[in-house]
Amino acid sequence: MQNFDQFIGSFSFDNRLAEVDIAGSIAHTKMLIKTKIISASDGRKIVSGLTSILKDIGKGWKFPEEEDIHYAVERELIRRIGPVGGKMHTARSRNDQVVADLRIYLKQEIGIVENLINNFQKVLVEKAGENIDVVMPGFTHLQPAQPVLAAHHLLAYAWMMQRDRERLADCYKRTDVLPLGSAALAGTSFNIDRQYTAKLLDFENISENSLDAVSDRDFAAEFVFCVSLTALHLTRFCEEMILWMNPEFGYITIDDKFTSGSSIMPQKRNPDCAEVIRGKSGRIFGDLIALLTIIKSLPLAYNRDLQEDKPPVFDALDNIKMCLEVISEMTESLEFVGERALKSTEKGFIAATEIADYLAKNNVPFRAAHGIVKDIVLYCRKNSKTLNELSIEEYNGFSKIFKKDIFKYLDAKNIADMKTSYGGTSEKSVLRQIDNIKQKLK
């Protein structure tokens, strides 16, 4: 390795902060003018120089490579307006500058991720509404448990996403703290006005401790954790899509464009998009561990290790955005095969709990009812019958309490609809859920 400058540099991955870096510098310069630390005419030259760079970036112009984006902007400014450009860095250090940049950047991106989550929620809620009549087995341990509405199942993910969005909104509050004015680590002897800079940059708060401010990356770690949990939620959904697309289940179809074929097996429609989203979670979790490990054990205040914060933050950000876009489109194309899902409820004695509840409602202690129904299921297994296929006489062989109305309790849709408790899977409860979550959506 000969090129140590490149080794310690960060330009290759921090140049995406160019715009926010310039925005920060413009605000800082305006503050220097207001506080008379620099003259208004020098300040104006700096601001217009920075603005011209910003315009050129917009047209596709690229910075020559420097150690990092902060040096790149300053050198370019001095090239354009002369040595007066060097006054911009008065009462500032790259240490407070870089973390201010990252905060400005993440504040914008948090909003974008929140919107993408909101969109995915909308798709889920819409699909839930469209499929309100679809009944499918609900599982525990991936074994048939009790019938649920497919809409209820989809909405479970909409609520997960709601928590994710609220978590990001909370993370935003702690990101919305301006470190500028902390300088290298100790603050500055210039008579700066930090509140003014904060106002210009639309920050709610300014940091209280300069040592903490320049070395704090909690907000970044929190952000990557937030998106890690979102990624984790997406993997659960993708896993279910993959299962439900399997012909053994056959509950759903998705548009072919989200699947791919095989180079050898002509019949294949593999759920690649869902699998890639599931896989992407691995690198996003890796980003979280990388970031935590970079920050761990660092003595106060700034250490160059902190420069390595950006690749994991950007990687987690880019990937969660892609995943959210893909999953929303894929879910939009999702169609339920209602009769297959319903057919599946005939397997696995899925009405058993309902029969036990029937007995319990007729004064049999639930534990005893559980035992009776266990025997009924054993009997069915032995005689290769379903619960539906038993006669009332057979039921009465196990308990005299059973009346003919028991058969009403064996129908999957009825069973689901009897779960009228708040948050349950009855159609009425699910429609209320749809109303409730719609009120949370933008």
Residues that bind ligand ARG (CB under 6 A): 10, 14, 68, 70, 94-95, 98, 302, 304, 306-307
Residue entry with tokens 């209820």: 152
Amino acid symbol at 192: I
Amino acid symbol at 101: D
**CB nearer to ligand ARG: pick between 184 and 418:** 184
Shortest spacing between CB 50 and ligand ARG, in angstroms: 18
The Cα 46–Cα 24 span in angstroms is: 13
Identify the sign of the CA torsion 222, 317, 175, 166: negative
Query: Please, which residues have CB within 8 angstroms of residue 226's CB and are 6 or more apart in sequence?
Result: 164, 167, 168, 171
**CB nearer to ligand ARG: pick between 70 and 233:** 70
Q: In the structure encoding, which two tokens stand for residue 252, read together?
A: 């759903």
CB atoms within 10 A of CB 314: 18
Answer for the pair 94, 68: CB distance below 8 angstroms, yes or no: yes
Residue entry with tokens 């029969």: 355
Shortest spacing between CB 304 and ligand ARG, in angstroms: 6
Distances (CA, A) of 35 to 84, 89, 299, 322: 18, 15, 33, 44
Q: Is position 70 annotated as part of the catalytic site?
A: no
Q: Is position 141 annotated as part of the catalytic site?
A: yes
State the Rg of the chain over Cα: 30
Query: Please, which residues have CB within 8 angstroms of residue 12's CB and are 6 or more apart in sequence?
Result: none
> What are the helix (H) ranges across 82-217?
94-130, 150-175, 194-200, 210-215
**CB nearer to ligand ARG: pick between 67 and 275:** 67
The Cα 221–Cα 102 span in angstroms is: 12
Catalytic residue among 52, 93, 262, 391: 262
Answer for the pair 366, 360: CB distance below 8 angstroms, yes or no: yes
User: Measuring CA to CA, which residue among 106, 109, 112, 110 is closest to residue 179?
Assistant: 106
Shortest spacing between CB 292 and ligand ARG, in angstroms: 17
DSSP secondary structure of 30-73? HHHHHTTSS-HHHHHHHHHHHHHHHHHHHTT--PPP-SSHHHHH
**Residues with catalytic annotation?**
141, 262
